Structure 1
Amino acid sequence: MSRDLVIIQENNFFSDKTQLSTNLQSEESIQIWAWLNQGHFSDRTKKTYIRIVKDFLTFNWHLSLKQITPALVTLYLRKKDKVAASTRNLHRNCLSSLFQYLENVSYIQKSPVKVVKQEKVTETFHYKVLSIEQIKRMTEKVGSSRDRLVLQILYFTGLRVSELSTIKVKDFSVSSQKRNTQGAYLTVVGKGSKIRTVLTGAYLWKEIRKYIKKADLQPNDYIFNFEGAPLSRITIFKIIKKATQVAGIKVPGGKTPSPHWFRHTSAIHALENGADIHVVQTTLGHASLATTGQYLKSRPVKSNASYLKKV
């Protein structure tokens, strides 16, 4: 048995109750496997998409991919009424990607998801933004230099948690100028394996260099590692949760800040301190300026009230 057939058998996307023939299941599993392994999906995205596709095929257990219509896609999404609109959009985007691929390779004539629109979602960044005082308290109260640096890098660079966990010592490079006021250049591999460069700033680079020296890290070592492997997302979440608790941070609704709150906070604070929106876009790795613009809408610095007299 070939390696590819073994892979397909291990990734059978169809439920046991499906009425599709074994041959058709294999054929369509191969198409789904090929879509997932184009090379631009992260492992985390693959796991999420596999779960969504299996759920969708179980919902349409009596139909093949070629028989899926826009109405069936809409019905599937409508049945997800107990989840947030953003989660339904995630399901819709996953199916859109799959069926667009199937159209591109001429497996189907037209994607049934094209006419199914995304739901409008009001992004509530405002309550996911920490104050500078809260950030300072968290970095002061954490118990280790590693945890402090985790918080500092998240705040100054706005990295995603997946980007943070995979940073290696060799990903930093320093300007050849004698007087370096910008710190180091950090090469980041972001969503879809897109590469961008982020300036650390002089202060953060100083903190990073001290940590590298103290931990005796080598060029190929992950900055944050456990027995040589990258620090897990769960561990980074726990670091932030503990820092929140020891610093006595209280947020609306009793929510626990996540690593992504630091990304929002980094963007909002930079914009409020006068950063050009294009700088923030490049730092965060947003493909669209409209995505970065959501931060401006979420925390406007002025409104009509700023220009009206007292009454």
Structure 2
Amino acid sequence: MRVEKACYETGFEKWLLVDEQFNPVEETLLFTNQLYAAGYSPNTIEAYLRDLKKYLEYLEMKDINFYTVRPLDISEFLQYVVQDQNGQERAANTVNRTIASIASCYNYHQKVLSTCPNPMVSAQILRPSSMNKGLLYHAMEGKGSVIKSYFRRKTKKRGLHRLSRDQVKLAFERFTNSRDKLILKILYHTGLRIGELLGLRIEDYDTPCNDGIGALHVIYRNENEAHQRQKTGNRIVHIPMELIYEIDEYVTCERPYVSGINNIFVSNKGPTKGKPLSRKAIQKLFKLCSKKSGVEFTSHTLRHTHFTELAEFGYDEAFIKERGGWAKIDSASIYLHPSTESQRSAFQRFWEISKKDYV
């Protein structure tokens, strides 16, 4: 089995899980169609199918029928998949994503196709007090509980969520060309998601002028040459005019030109020169930079860093929510990681006011 991209005469491209004869795998075909119909991004669907590929290959190896899987079989599969091909233990988040992919597929088979029961056993547990409560929370049946999978692995608390100014400067110095430096600058000064950055087109930045502030226009497009889409609707992200000039200089003087390609960031060399830069290329770029600088971080770390700095400068969560493109204001709070220095400074200001009443 393999995950392949099917290209239709209409120009539409679609990820499919196929067998050795390139026939779509029956167990996943209708589920894949449903994901596309529901508007899932191509990258998300590809990830789902790669997880299901591992699962179906395991069932084939154990001679287990997809439609008669028991919860015990799922448990044994997770013991098998917890290690990669090199014998290294996979991260809990990776295993949990695999669980979610399998559960979603079985849920579709159970509730839509009625072909088999769902072996992904779950339990109803009390809702943590920290979870978001919607406007009609009081009217919900079973509002005090949530559904949790028995198979979900406990995740470890993440390490570094943000970078200091010195770490950002150190990372910047390790990037080798102007395109890569510009990518780091934009991510650091805007907090854009990587898919939003890769989806930017030449017409999406303001014309350079004498005004001190410009903007990037983050626009939702269903047809995207980079196969990247933002999660939310259109928004405007303001940036310094100095950064607008740097983007314009890169586009006009250094960016390789290929007819019909309007993405700002494209590949610099090789057979893909001038084609939209891929997510994998960005991940490889930041992995190499982390190794050179000694600072472990990803492109998403810069998103955490940007919004944490805004919060430390006094911007409220409503502004941060709009700039970050979140649907709910509560989503913004998980990105805020005040430094020890800012926490100390905040308490010092509090203490200056309250120490006269010290008991």
For residues 316 and 117 of structure 2, the distance between their equivalents in structure 1, rounded to whole angstroms, comes to: 41
1:104: how far off? 4.2
The equivalent of 1:55 in structure 2 is: 54
- 1:225 and 2:266 matched: yes
Structure 1 residues 112 and 297 mapped into 2: Cα distance closer, same or farther (>3 Å)? farther
SS in 2 for 1:200: strand
**Structure 2 residue 293 is the aligned partner of structure 1 residue 293:** no
Alignment partners' CA distance in 1, 2:181 and 2:280 = 17
Instruction: Flag the 1:298–1:52 CA change in 2: closer, same or farther, 3 A.
Output: farther
Q: Does 1:250 align with 2:289?
A: no
* Alignment-derived partner of residue 84 in structure 1: 91
Normalised to the residue count of structure 1, the TM-score between the two structures is: 0.71
Q: TM-score normalised to the size of structure 2?
A: 0.63
2:301 is matched by which residue type in structure 1?
Answer: W
For residues 183 and 112 of structure 1, the distance between their equivalents in structure 2, rounded to whole angstroms, comes to 53
Pairing 1:259–2:299 present: yes
Task: Find the aligned partners of 2:27 and 2:294 in 1 and give their Cα distance.
Answer: 50
Could you say which residue in structure 2 is the equivalent of 1:73? 74
Partner letter of residue 97 of structure 2?
L
- Higher relative contact order (CA closer than 8 Å, sequence separation 6+): 1
What runs of 5+ residues in structure 1 fail to find an aligned partner? 15-21
Of the structure 1 ranges 113-122 and 266-275, higher mean CA displacement relative to structure 2 is found in 113-122
Secondary structure of 2:302's partner? helix
Q: Give the conservation status (yes or no) of the 8 Å contact 2:28–2:105.
A: no
d(CA) in 2 for partners of 1:59, 1:141: 42
Match of residue 210 from structure 1: 249
Mapping for residues 124-203 of structure 1, pairs under 5 Å: 124=158, 126-139=159-172, 142-172=175-205, 182-189=213-220, 194-203=232-241
CA distances 1:96-136 after superposition (whole Å, capped 9, x unpaired): 32223334423346544361254443442x52422112323
CA contact (8 A) 2:214 2:244 kept: yes
Task: Go from structure 1 to structure 2 and tell me whether the alpha carbon gap of 1:192 and 1:119 turns closer, same or farther (over 3 Å shift).
Answer: farther
Per-residue CA deviation, residues 242-298 of structure 1 (Å, 9 max, x unaligned), is 65577xx333xxx4x322222222232222222323433443444554543223468
User: In the TM superposition, what whole-angstrom CA distance separates every residue of 1:153-199 from its partner, at most 9, and x where no partner exists?
Assistant: 1112222333322321123357xxx9955421421446676434241
In the TM superposition, what is the alpha-carbon distance from 1:229 to its structure 2 partner? 0.8
Tell me how far apart the structure 1 counterparts of residues 337 and 298 of structure 2 sit (CA, whole Å): 21
Is residue 157–residue 198 contact of structure 1 (8 Å, CA) maintained in 2? no
Question: Which residue of structure 1 aligns with residue 33 of structure 2?
Answer: 34
Contact kept in structure 2, 1:241 and 1:258, CA below 8 Å: yes
Is the alpha carbon distance of 1:297 and 1:237 closer, same or farther for their aligned partners in structure 2, counting shifts above 3 Å? closer
Please say if 1:93 is aligned against 2:93: no
SS in 2 for 1:11: strand
Question: Using the alignment, how far apart are the partners of 1:68 and 1:120 within structure 2?
Answer: 24
Distance 1:295 1:69 in 2: 39
Does the Cα contact within 8 Å between 1:169 and 1:220 map onto a contact in 2? Answer: no
Q: Is the 8 A contact 1:138 1:244 kept in 2?
A: yes
CA distance in 2, matches of 1:121, 1:288: 24
Q: Secondary structure at the match of 1:201?
A: strand
Q: Distance in 2 between matches of 1:70 and 1:278?
A: 44
* Matched residue, 2:155: 121
| Structure 2 counterpart SS, 1:199 | strand
Q: Does 1:12 align with 2:18?
A: yes
User: C-alpha separation between the residues in 2 aligned to 1:287 and 1:273?
Assistant: 23
What does the per-residue CA deviation read over 1:54-107, in whole Å, with 9 as the maximum and x for residues that have no partner?
221233334444323444434433444432211121112212322233344233
What is the match of residue 17 of structure 1? none
Greater fraction of residues in helix: 1
Q: Relative to structure 1, is the Cα distance of residues 191 and 110 closer, same or farther in structure 2, using a 3 angstrom cutoff?
A: farther
Match of 2:3 in 1: none
Question: Would the aligned equivalents of 1:224 and 1:231 in 2 still touch at CA under 8 Å?
Answer: yes
Question: Structure 1's 287 and 80: CA in aligned 2 closer, same or farther, altered over 3 A?
Answer: farther
Mapped to 2, the partners of 1:133 and 1:266 lie a distance apart of: 14
Answer with 106-115 or 127-136: which moved more: 106-115
Please name the residue that 1:19 is paired with.
none
User: Aligned pair in 2 of structure 1 residues 183, 48: CA closer, same or farther (>3 Å)?
Assistant: same
Number of aligned residue pairs: 284
% identity of equivalent residues = 25
